[in-house]
């Protein structure tokens, strides 16, 4: 009897966890029973062979001059009201279906939502999901689309050719305020708690993206959050969005998760490339003969270990004093 019970308890808790997981809110990046190392136990695709994000290693990227630029339509000023929600993991803006992206192969994708991944848990931590030559950027923007051959996002999300994400990195230096982000950032204060929604009046996603939309990296991968479905065609832009330090600080410190903890470092570790090839539609400037390539390599390593001085907003006292388990976990995580 007793041993039967003992055998049942883990089984039962697995059931309970599975049940909670279906609500999609209890997985985390670094804390609790369902941190990213345990995602595959509840979401098997997360343990697959073509996962995202990845490190974009420029010397291994295949330049494909035949790869056309992306065609974005309806990305410019849109009148109307657009819901923006704190979903406990990030801030997400619902996008109108008039926003479309045509990929190099002619596939038309319809925009669904846009969200962000950031760092902020200590002064040196950046929070992009993809890295370039091992370098993590400050923020990563994801504009999620579904293949227009499907009726809705709900149908497309399970189809093998269902999704495409347009991704971009944010760079922070001594830049002035990026006014294209002002409305978005001021609305963060309205959605401090998970489940809260606010409304953006008018939207211009084109202006929230980098100036150069032509040059990108492309590969086949997955969603970077559970259920990690392996049906995402990734387009990672080479150019950056520029935000001021204050704007980055606000994104990193405005939202709380389901445990009332500030949402920070909401990025997944990079995943093995396995047999995939990353293509780009622009030549890699870093590609030279071996000697110069080695130089670039050691340079970027040094950059990883010592981020530029003063590259981040100084932390407030309160966030500096909250040294938690998370900081320790993240300490090891930074050695990617
Ligand atoms: C989070 O804080 C709000 C406001 O103080 C409170 O109503 C809520 O119960 C808290 N939630 C948790 C999980 O502690």
139 C-alpha vs ligand 1 centroid, how far in Å?
27
Q: Comparing 26-30, 44-48, 136-140, 285-289, which segment has the lowest mean pLDDT?
A: 285-289
Using the atom order of ligand 1, give the atom closest to the CA of residue 260.
1
Examine the pLDDT at 327 and tell me if it is beyond 50: no
**Distance from the CA of 260 to the center of ligand 1, in angstroms?**
6
Q: What is the pLDDT of residues 73-93, one digit of tens each?
A: 999 998 999 999 999 999 999
Q: How confident is the model at residue 24 (pLDDT cuts 50, 70, 90)?
A: low
Please check whether residue 326 lies inside any domain of the structure. no
* Averaged pLDDT, 166-192: 97
SS3 165: strand
Mean pLDDT of the chain: 83
Find the domain containing 190 and state its range. 42-282
Q: Identify whether 66 is part of a domain.
A: yes
Distance CA 149, CA 153 (A): 11
Domain-located, residue 113: yes
Structure tokens at 64: 């494909």
Name the residue with the closest Cα to ligand 1, atom 5. 260
Residue 89 annotated to the active site: yes
CA distance 244 to 179: 10
Band of pLDDT at residue 69, cut at 50, 70 and 90: very high
Model pLDDT for residues 105-146, shown as the tens digit of each residue: 999 999 999 999 999 988 778 999 999 999 999 999 999 999
User: Does some domain include residue 26?
Assistant: no
Look at residue 328 and tell me if it is in a domain: no
User: Tokens at residue 280, please?
Assistant: 């780009």
Q: How many domains, the chain?
A: 1
* Ligand 1 mean position, distance from CA 12 (Å): 28
What is the predicted pLDDT for the residue at 112?
A: 98
For residue 25, being part of any structural domain is answered with no
Please give the distance, rounded to the nearest whole angstrom, from the Cα atom of residue 188 to the centre of ligand 1. 18
Distance 228 CA to ligand 1 centre (A): 29
pLDDT tens digits, 53-66: 999 999 999 999 99
299 pocket-lining for ligand 1 (C-beta < 6 Å): no
| pLDDT the model gives residue 125 | 86
**For residue 243, what is the domain's CATH number?**
3.10.200.10
* Residue 6 located in a structural domain: no
State if residue 192 touches ligand 1 by the CB under 6 angstroms criterion: no
Q: DSSP string covering 287-324, please? A: --SHHHHHHHHHHHHHHHHSPPTT-SPPPPHHHHH---
263 CA distance to ligand 1 middle (Å): 15
Atom 13 (ligand 1) nearest CA: 259
Q: Which residue out of 38, 42, 89, 115 is catalytically annotated? A: 89
User: Does the beta carbon of 305 lie inside 6 Å of ligand 1?
Assistant: no
For residue 259, which atom of ligand 1 is closest to its CA? 13
pTM of the full predicted structure?
0.81
Place of tokens 């990227």: 61
Pocket test for ligand 1, best of 32, 193, 194, 258 (most atoms within 8 A of CB): 193
Give the mutation target among 25, 255, 260, 263 for probing the ligand 1 site: most ligand atoms within 8 A of CB.
260
CA angle 304, 247, 98 (to 5 degrees): 100
Count of beta carbons in the 10 Å neighbourhood of residue 215:
16
Nearest CA to ligand 1 atom 3: 260
Q: Is 332 in the pocket of ligand 1 (CB under 6 A)?
A: no
- Shortest CA distance to 282 belongs to which of 24, 43, 95, 56? 56
Q: How do residues 180-196 score in pLDDT, each as one tens digit? A: 999 999 999 999 999 99
Tokens of 271: 């995943």
Pairing of strands 62-63, 135-136: unpaired
Quote the tokens at residue 47.
Answer: 């343990």
In a domain, 158, yes or no: yes
Instruction: Round to whole Å and give the CA distance between 255 and 264.
Output: 9
CA within 13 Å, CB half, 31: 15
């Amino acid at each position: 009897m007793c041993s039967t019970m003992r055998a049942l308890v883990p089984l039962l808790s697995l059931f309970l966890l599975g049940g909670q997981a279906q609500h999609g809110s209890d997985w985390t990046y670094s804390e609790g029973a369902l941190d990213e190392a345990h995602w595959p136990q509840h979401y098997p695709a997360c343990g697959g062979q073509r996962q995202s994000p990845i490190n974009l290693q420029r010397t291994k990227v295949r330049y494909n001059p035949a790869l056309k630029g992306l065609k974005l339509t309806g990305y410019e000023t849109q009148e109307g009201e657009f819901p923006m929600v704190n979903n406990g993991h990030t801030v997400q803006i619902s996008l109108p279906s008039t926003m479309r992206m045509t990929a190099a192969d002619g596939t038309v994708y319809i925009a669904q939502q846009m969200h962000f991944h950031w760092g902020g848990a200590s002064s040196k931590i950046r929070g992009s999901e993809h890295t370039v030559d091992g370098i993590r950027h400050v923020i990563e923007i994801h504009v999620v689309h579904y293949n227009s051959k499907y009726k809705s996002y709900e149908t497309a999300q399970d189809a093998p050719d269902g999704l495409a994400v347009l991704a971009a990195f944010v760079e922070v230096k001594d830049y002035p305020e990026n006014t294209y982000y002002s409305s978005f950032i001021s609305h963060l204060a309205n959605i401090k708690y998970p489940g809260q929604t606010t409304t953006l009046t008018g939207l211009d996603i084109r202006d929230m993206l980098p100036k150069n939309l032509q040059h990108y990296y492309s590969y086949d991968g997955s969603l970077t959050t559970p259920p990690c479905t392996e049906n995402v065609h990734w387009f990672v832009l080479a150019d950056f969005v520029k935000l001021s330090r204050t704007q980055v600080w606000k994104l990193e410190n405005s939202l709380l998760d389901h445990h009332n903890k500030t949402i920070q470092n909401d990025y997944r570790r990079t995943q093995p490339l396995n047999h995939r090839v990353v293509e780009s539609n622009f030549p890699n400037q870093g590609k030279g003969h071996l000697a110069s390539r080695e130089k670039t390599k050691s340079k970027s390593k040094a950059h990883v270990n010592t981020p530029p001085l003063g590259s981040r907003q100084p932390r407030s006292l309160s966030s500096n004093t909250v040294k938690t388990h998370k900081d320790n976990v993240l300490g090891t995580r930074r050695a990617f």
